[in-house]
A and B are shown apart, each in its own frame.
Chain A
Amino acid sequence: MIGLVLTCVVIAAALIAIVGLWHRRAPAIDALALAKAQYEGFVVDVERREGRGDIDAELANEERVEAARALLKAEAAATPAYSLKPAHAAIGAFAVAGISFALYALYIGHPELGDQPYETRVVQWTDAARRNIDSLPPEALSAVLHRRASEPDNVKNPDFWLFLGKVDMMAGRYYEAAKAFDTSMKLSPKTFTGWSDLGEALYFVAGGSVGPDSQKAFDLALAQDPKDARAHYYLGRRDLDQGRYDSARAHFVTAKAALAVDDIRQNAIAEQLAAVETAQSGEAAARTRIAGMVAALEAQLTEQPDNADGWARLLRSYDVMGDAAGKARVLKEMQAHYRDRPQVAADIVQKSKGAVGAENTGGQ
């Protein structure tokens, strides 16, 4: 704090000194002398240009006259220069410095906040990590570990990279985590145990979905340990997203069984299990509703078969429900009805193929 105040005082003094020094170094120029010098310089230049043929005599004369008038005007306006008394100058200087201090200290500044350059902080974190590794937030620990990654002890040590990856995961640096797990795996492909960690990291890198690479990692994890809760959990989530509810439930149940009863991750699994139930029952309800609508539509078509739009909708409904046999049956009935008008039948089939609202879209 004292250092800060002293530095600020020095800066203020230096700035005021600059003002004083400049004032002293650049003595007041007699305005008339300057105007005269300017006039003479100007006339010399005009003559030079006239001599070279850049301007004609008339223009040269105009410029000369104008310069002369400026000189006359300057002479008329010339006033004696005023000089500041030292006491007044000092008051002014103190006023400027004082206002600056007041503005800084009372309004803008945070004199209590020191610098926190990153390097210094990393050194502090390293010390803290030596004392108690759990006291550090994962981001800080990650920074410390990354600094030490090039040390000879660590660079070829698969366990170090495995640990670094886990820390990076906690710090939310999924891409670095995936890279660290990958490094660890490459260092000792035979003894690598972090397949499900790698899969999880890749899951997050892909923005929350199981891609081919994370799928492979999870598969390897399950090959290593068929009860790997993490792999089951993410595979379950994938199945849930894709509507394979039974498989999803199986994954979650396996994961649940693999974990201790009081494990904190049990909550997440329970949540997902509930989500499976909700989604499944929701879909069942939708199915029932569609089936009801389909039955009504079919009944209507049996009574009034001359309804091209109705046939198309019915065909599409069977498609949505994935009932191939039902669709084939309806198709046969429809074609039987439109036996003598094949063009209409073809149109219906065509129409039934488009998804709802898909008329305006489509790929390039």
Chain B
Amino acid sequence: MNRKRQDRVTSPSPFMGRGDHLRSRWWAGPTPVSQCLTVVIAALAVSPAHRSLRSRSPLPMNGEGERRSMSLLAVLFLLLLLPFTAHADAAHADAAHDEARAKALYREVRCVACQSQDIADSDAAIAADMRREIREEIAQGRSDAEIRAGLSARYGDYVLFRPRFSLGNLLLWSLPPLILVGGIAVFVAISRRRGAARDYVLSEAEEARLRDILKNDR
């Protein structure tokens, strides 16, 4: 039977549950890596060394108010890092992790019998079969890449909503970023080349004609 479903039915609220789990991790103490990160940032926020950094930073630091707002920012950064420190070690290959992997994969796989629907959303029988297949493969310890390769070998590339990086798909993947980079390059080149501004001063003759026109029949 579906593990996901059972989880959902038994826990009173996935959000609540996750939150509790998270908080307990948070208070129990983060892992060394995230702990170090937090300590470094905290040190940066208050240490004299950071002051010297700040003097080199592009932001002009003049006055107590600025400094206070910078410390405020640093504290805010700390706050926002908390969820990560809490979760940095939660990503073990446990049931929850498998569950998340399976769900992410469902979103990438097309239900071959439906109209542009992924198998997560479809309640067709074939989608259920494919979901089960993916679950089994995850349980067997295969990596996401292996599972994707297996699926495309069995059903063809058609089944994957995220096309592979291949020579045939080169344009698909590379054109949007290329056009962005190219566009910026072209824009920079044009603005370099264009030296003279358009002159926004009317010449004598133009002034005279303009006065002439406006004076007419008024």
Contact = CB atoms under 8 A, between A and B. Distances in A.
Asked if chains A and B are in direct contact (CB within 8 A), the reply is yes
Interface of A: 32, 36, 39, 61-62, 65-66, 68-69, 71-72, 75, 361, 364
A68 B200 contact: no
The 6 closest A-B pairs by CB, nearest first: A62-B200, A65-B200, A364-B128, A68-B210, A75-B213, A65-B202
B209 A72 contact: yes
Contacts of B2: 364
B209 A75 contact: yes
Q: Is the interface of A mostly helix, strand, loop or mixed?
A: helix
A36 B214 contact: yes
A61 B125 CA distance: 70
A36 B132 CA distance: 75
Contacts of A32: 213
Nearest to B1: A364
Given A36-B214, A71-B213, A75-B213, 7 more contacts: A62-B200, A65-B200, A66-B200, A68-B206, A69-B202, A69-B206, A364-B129
Interface of B: 2, 125, 128-129, 132, 200-202, 206, 209-210, 213-214
A3 to B, nearest CB: 48
Contacts of A62: 200
B186 to A, nearest CB: 25
Nearest to A76: B209
A66 B200 CA distance: 8
B83 to A, nearest CB: 35
Contacts of B206: 68-69, 72
Contacts of A36: 213-214
A71 B210 contact: yes
Nearest to A32: B213
A152 B123 CA distance: 48
Contact of B129 (A66, A75, A361): A361
Contacts of B132: 364
A364 B122 CA distance: 14
B202 A68 contact: yes
B121 to A, nearest CB: 16
B207 to A, nearest CB: 9
A364 B202 CA distance: 81
A75 B206 CA distance: 12
15 contacts: A32-B213, A36-B213, A65-B201, A68-B202, A68-B206, A69-B202, A71-B213, A72-B213, A75-B209, A75-B213, A361-B129, A364-B2, A364-B125, A364-B129, A364-B132
Contacts of A361: 129
